[in-house]
């Protein structure tokens, strides 16, 4: 994209360059009526039409100068291997734990099931970001690249996953995160490690988590490997110079004012694809208005760290209709000559014009809470032009006044419109079939569809009772029956306190972060200590146990035995399934979470097993290094005993309890925290040393779920 510099920018533009363009993701709106500042009282008096021509003139001047100042080159946007980015309209961040993507029962990836669901609900995606790190990263010392290798089937399995997406025409991104400097060193710079990983599995791009611009080193590393990659930073604003090698980006900081702003990146380089992200949004009309006005894309992200934030039927239909139109006219939407603030006839209606050789497209949004009919657009008329309402799928007749065409079409409340003008003598391929599809697709107005959001229901996996024992077996302590106030809060970093976060106990109607319930607990026996390596070794010897998915199984053992000196340390690198297998062999079971907490807390609501005051002597010394140290012996801290005499409950290794399942996600509640505290980031798996806190650990497959800081203890029912 080459543009010759025009005249020097006006004082208005010079002021903008200094005050706004460096940092803001949007260009300021066209000036309103004199005396009425933008985004304040009186915005409703603005006359965008009166100022739009001057706005476009001034900002074309600014654009030309600014591109020269940053030494901009559009060469990468011209490269054939990167052209797909300009049609990458609907992107999705996908949690690999999503049950639509991987079936733990058959131990198979189910890419087609995942994609078919999205296609059915909102028309499908053009690219996917495979997310396999946060929020589980940091439970042990595995780094971001090891988390990829720990996926079912390892990197060869991940390569097959990428190929499966490619067969469906979907491009694949992987993540990289600069904040992961507290786990085990990768041995090479992030840019080299990310490029090598992407090449090994055939990925198309890299998402720069928290980056406001993925550094040039990443782009160069991919080029040097002969595997060109597309880079998309997550954060905004993207540094303007990085526009030359960051061919995509995420959009955030969505406007809330009625008058829609212009995306600065889209204005600087119309071929740059921004996928707007609003992960916690439950009503997305404002998102869709913004992207449709700018001709940009969307990040259709629903499984957010294991919390399901599904599109409502109305939002899903709106996205389907936008994507369907985008995919019909992709070249127009990246027109170098696009013009925002096309002349609209009705108040609070905004439009953009995307000119092409054979046709011109206008995208229109109605920001009003009421429907509009009659004239909507006034455009320059060319004799012989044909006009089509491509939102509703109908040819329309313009009312001509001299050289102006007035176009009338309906806009529902908070709705969308689109007009295609076909130039005289030109033909648009498959237009008739497209219009027929649009008529069917838009027959039901969006406002008639439900906008109600509701969380997914969860169920707690059943735990079968054991044979009732009147006396505690050796190594166990009897926990007497009693009333217990079960009060616990999830420590997940994100998700606020909204319905749908954390877990749903059987007595609760929805998942939520904070839980309070009074329980009558029957007596049970609990292991005094977590299961040790020596005890697990006896189980393995007796049963010849070897799980079907044995990746990472007892990873710390050598020659089928724990390392010397580890016999009395808690066994780790065991999955929830492994722990259940041991418990069954021992004629025990895993504890329900409230049983674990009751045994640790007693009836006085204490904060820690030993009391209400923090006492470092009652637990292992924290490990803030980059690699795991051996856990302490289970009996090393007798001062940490609970009121019932249960030991090693907090700060050595996490302990498995209940499993929860919804339609899309499996998770387990883990208790007690661990000694491992990776530094450099607050996004690592958070600790939960307090007895009124728990961790929620996302589950995918046993090989991936096993951790060097996660063990278990057992209980048996008392008779």
Q: Is residue 375 scored above 60 in pLDDT?
A: yes
Distance CA 342, CA 347 (A): 13
Q: Is residue 8 scored above 50 in pLDDT?
A: no
Q: Are residues 42 and 36 in contact, defined by beta-carbon separation less than 8 angstroms?
A: yes
Whether 52 maps to a domain, the answer reads: yes
Whether 408 maps to a domain, the answer reads: no
Q: Are residues 104 and 67 in contact, defined by beta-carbon separation less than 8 angstroms?
A: no
How much of the chain, in percent, has pLDDT values that exceed 70? Answer: 95
Q: What are phi and psi of 53, to 5 degrees?
A: -65, -45
Q: How confident is residue 13, by pLDDT bands cut at 50, 70 and 90?
A: very low
pLDDT (tens digit, 9 = 90+) per residue, 183-203?
Answer: 999 999 999 999 999 999 999
Distance CA 598, CA 438 (A): 60
Task: Output the six-digit token pair for 191.
Answer: 């840019």
Burial of 34 (0-12, 13-18, 19+ CB in 10 A): exposed
Task: Output the six-digit token pair for 132.
Answer: 């396999």
Q: What domain range includes position 18?
A: 11-69
pLDDT (tens digit, 9 = 90+) per residue, 111-158?
Answer: 999 999 999 999 999 999 999 999 999 999 999 999 999 999 999 999
Distance CA 76, CA 55 (A): 29
Question: At 626, which CATH number?
Answer: 3.90.1580.10
Whether 157 maps to a domain, the answer reads: no
92, 93, 248 from 229: Cα distances, Å: 18, 18, 11
Q: What are phi and psi of 68, to 5 degrees?
A: -70, -40
Size of the chain, expressed as the number of residues it contains: 719
Whether 551 maps to a domain, the answer reads: yes
Q: Is residue 344 scored above 80 in pLDDT?
A: yes
Whether 203 maps to a domain, the answer reads: no
* pLDDT for the residue 588: 98
CB atoms within 10 A of CB 542: 10
Task: Output the six-digit token pair for 524.
Answer: 């049970």
Distance CA 140, CA 29 (A): 49
- Domain end, chosen from 39, 69, 99, is at 69
Q: Could you check whether the bond before residue 432 is cis, i.e. omega within 30 degrees of 0? A: no
- Mean pLDDT across 528-546: 98
pLDDT (tens digit, 9 = 90+) per residue, 201-217?
Answer: 999 999 999 999 999 99
Q: Are residues 251 and 225 in contact, defined by beta-carbon separation less than 8 angstroms?
A: no
pLDDT (tens digit, 9 = 90+) per residue, 16-68?
Answer: 443 444 467 899 888 643 333 444 455 666 788 999 999 999 999 999 999 99
**Spacing of C-alpha 523 from chain mean position:** 43
* pLDDT for the residue 34: 39
How much of the chain, in percent, has pLDDT values that exceed 90? Answer: 91
Number of domains in the chain: 2
Distance CA 661, CA 525 (A): 27
pLDDT (tens digit, 9 = 90+) per residue, 462-491?
Answer: 999 999 999 999 999 999 999 999 999 999
Q: Are residues 550 and 703 in contact, defined by beta-carbon separation less than 8 angstroms?
A: yes
* pLDDT for the residue 42: 53
Task: Output the six-digit token pair for 456.
Answer: 């997914």
The per-residue b/e assignment along 654-673, b for 16 or more CB within 10 angstroms, e otherwise, is bbbbbbbebebbbbbbbbbb
Q: How confident is residue 642, by pLDDT bands cut at 50, 70 and 90?
A: very high
Distance CA 272, CA 167 (A): 25
- Residues in a beta bridge with 400: 405
Whether 412 maps to a domain, the answer reads: no
Among residues 38, 36, 18, the alpha carbon closest in space to that of 28 is found at 38
Segment of 18-32, 166-180, 236-250 carrying the highest mean pLDDT: 166-180
Q: How confident is residue 9, by pLDDT bands cut at 50, 70 and 90?
A: very low
Q: Are residues 634 and 562 in contact, defined by beta-carbon separation less than 8 angstroms?
A: no
127-131, strands of its sheet edge to edge: 230-233, 205-208, 171-176, 127-131, 90-95, 297-299, 273-276, 248-251
Distance CA 340, CA 350 (A): 8
Whether 560 maps to a domain, the answer reads: yes
Q: Is residue 637 scored above 90 in pLDDT?
A: yes
Q: SS3 for 426?
A: coil
Whether 618 maps to a domain, the answer reads: yes
Q: Are residues 327 and 86 in contact, defined by beta-carbon separation less than 8 angstroms?
A: no
* pLDDT for the residue 30: 85
Among residues 648, 640, 503, 624, the alpha carbon closest in space to that of 572 is found at 648
Distance CA 632, CA 625 (A): 16
- Domain end, chosen from 69, 97, 119, is at 69
CB atoms within 10 A of CB 159: 15
């Amino acid at each position: 994209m080459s543009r010759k510099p025009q005249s020097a920018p006006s004082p208005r533009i010079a002021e903008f360059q200094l005050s706004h363009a460096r940092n803001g993701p949007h260009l300021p709106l066209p000036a309103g009526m004199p005396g009425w500042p933008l985004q304040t009282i009186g915005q409703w008096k603005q006359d965008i039409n009166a100022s739009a021509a001057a706005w476009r003139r001034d900002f074309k001047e600014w654009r030309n100068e600014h591109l020269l100042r940053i030494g901009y080159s559009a060469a990468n946007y011209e490269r054939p291997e990167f052209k797909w980015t300009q049609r990458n309209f609907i992107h999705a961040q996908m949690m690999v734990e999503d049950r639509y993507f991987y079936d733990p029962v058959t131990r198979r990836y189910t890419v087609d099931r995942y994609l078919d669901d999205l296609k059915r609900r909102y028309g499908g995606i053009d690219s996917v970001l495979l997310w396999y790190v946060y929020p589980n990263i940091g439970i042990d010392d595995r780094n971001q690249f090891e988390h990829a290798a720990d996926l079912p089937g390892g990197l060869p399995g991940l390569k097959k996953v990428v190929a499966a997406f490619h067969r469906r025409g979907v491009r694949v991104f992987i993540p990289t995160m600069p904040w992961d400097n507290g786990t085990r060193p990768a041995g090479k710079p992030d840019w080299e490690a990310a490029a090598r990983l992407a090449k090994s599995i055939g990925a198309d791009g890299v998402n720069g988590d928290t980056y406001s611009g993925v550094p040039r080193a990443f782009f160069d590393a991919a080029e040097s490997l002969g595997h060109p990659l597309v880079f998309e930073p997550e954060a905004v604003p993207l540094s303007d110079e990085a526009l030359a090698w960051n061919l995509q980006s995420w959009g955030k900081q969505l406007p809330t004012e009625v008058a829609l702003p212009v995306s600065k990146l889209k204005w600087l380089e119309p071929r740059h694809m921004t996928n707007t992200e609003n992960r916690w949004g439950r009503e997305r009309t404002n998102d869709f208005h913004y992207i449709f006005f700018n001709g940009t894309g969307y990040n259709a992200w629903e499984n957010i760290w294991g919390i399901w934030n599904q599109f409502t039927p109305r939002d899903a239909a709106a996205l389907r209709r936008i994507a369907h139109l985008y995919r019909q006219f992709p070249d127009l939407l990246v027109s170098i000559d696009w013009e925002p603030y096309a002349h609209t006839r009705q108040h609070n209606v905004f439009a953009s014009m995307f000119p092409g050789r054979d046709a011109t497209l206008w995208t229109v949004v109605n920001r009003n809470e009421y429907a509009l009919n009659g004239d909507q657009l006034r455009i320059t008329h060319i004799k012989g032009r044909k006009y089509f309402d491509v939102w509703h799928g109908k040819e329309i007749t313009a009312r001509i006044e001299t050289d102006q065409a007035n176009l009338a079409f309906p806009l529902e409340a908070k709705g969308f419109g689109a007009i295609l003008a076909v130039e005289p003598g030109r033909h648009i391929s498959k237009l008739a079939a497209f219009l027929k599809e649009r008529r069917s697709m838009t027959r039901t107005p969006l406002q008639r569809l439900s906008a109600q959001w509701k969380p997914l229901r969860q169920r707690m996996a059943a735990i079968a009772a054991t044979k009732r024992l009147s006396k505690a077996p050796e190594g166990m302590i009897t926990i007497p029956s009693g009333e217990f106030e079960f009060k616990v809060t999830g420590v997940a970093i994100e998700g606020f306190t909204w319905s749908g976060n954390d877990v749903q106990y059987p007595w609760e109607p929805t998942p939520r972060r904070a839980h309070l319930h009074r329980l009558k607990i029957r007596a049970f026996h609990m292991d005094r200590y977590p299961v040790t390596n020596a005890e697990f070794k006896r189980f393995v010897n007796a049963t010849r146990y070897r799980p079907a998915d044995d990746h990472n199984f007892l990873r710390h053992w050598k020659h089928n035995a724990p390392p010397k000196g580890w016999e009395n340390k808690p066994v780790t690198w065991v999955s929830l399934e492994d722990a259940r297998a041991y418990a069954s062999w021992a004629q025990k079971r895993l504890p329900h979470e409230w049983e674990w907490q009751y045994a640790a807390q007693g009836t006085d609501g204490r904060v820690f097993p030993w009391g209400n005051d923090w006492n470092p002597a009652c637990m292992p010394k924290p490990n803030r290094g980059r690699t795991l140290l051996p856990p302490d012996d289970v009996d090393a801290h007798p001062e940490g005993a609970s009121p019932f005499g249960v030991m090693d409950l907090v700060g050595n290794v996490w302990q498995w309890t209940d499993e929860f399942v919804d339609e899309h996600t499996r998770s387990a509640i883990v208790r007690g925290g661990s000694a491992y505290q990776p530094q450099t980031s607050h996004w690592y798996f958070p600790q939960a040393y307090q007895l009124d806190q728990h961790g929620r650990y996302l589950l995918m497959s046993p090989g991936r779920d096993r951790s060097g800081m996660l063990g278990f203890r057992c209980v048996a029912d008392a008779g």
